[in-house]
Amino acid sequence: MNTQVDTIPVVSGSERSGALIAATVAFVFGVGLVFTTGFAHPTTIHNAAHDTRHALSFPCH
């Protein structure tokens, strides 16, 4: 029905576990990036990302 490329609902267990590993890696990287730009305290990071933090309504200062 569906082609392999289009679908994520995967059939085999190993593909499913591959998807879960990829999801975990993506989640860790994603949260890490958002934390760095939105939350990290070091002044240099704060100053560089300052306008973005305000513009995306992260708590700033």
Partner 1 sequence: MITRVLAVGLLAGLCAGLAVSALQSFTTTPIILAAEVFENAEEAKADSAAFDAGADRIFAPAQPHLILVHGDARSEEDSAPSNKEEWAPQDGMERTVFTSVATIATAIGFALIILAGMLFSGDVINEQRAMVWAAAGFVAAGLAPAVGLSPELPGMAAAGLPGRQEWWLATVLCTAVALWLFLRSDNNWLRLLAVPIVLAPHIWGAPHLAESHESGVPAELAAQFAATSLAVQATLWILTGFFVGFLWHKLGYLNARPAA
Interface residues with partner 1 (CB under 8 A) are: 4-10, 15-16, 18-27, 29-34, 36-39, 41, 43-44, 47-61
Q: Which residues contact 8 (CB under 8 A, 6 or more apart)?
A: 19
* Alpha helices, H only, 1-61: 13-38, 43-55
CB of 60 to partner 1, least distance (A): 6
CB of 57 to partner 1, least distance (A): 3
CB of 13 to partner 1, least distance (A): 13
Between CA 32 and CA 49 the distance in angstroms is 15
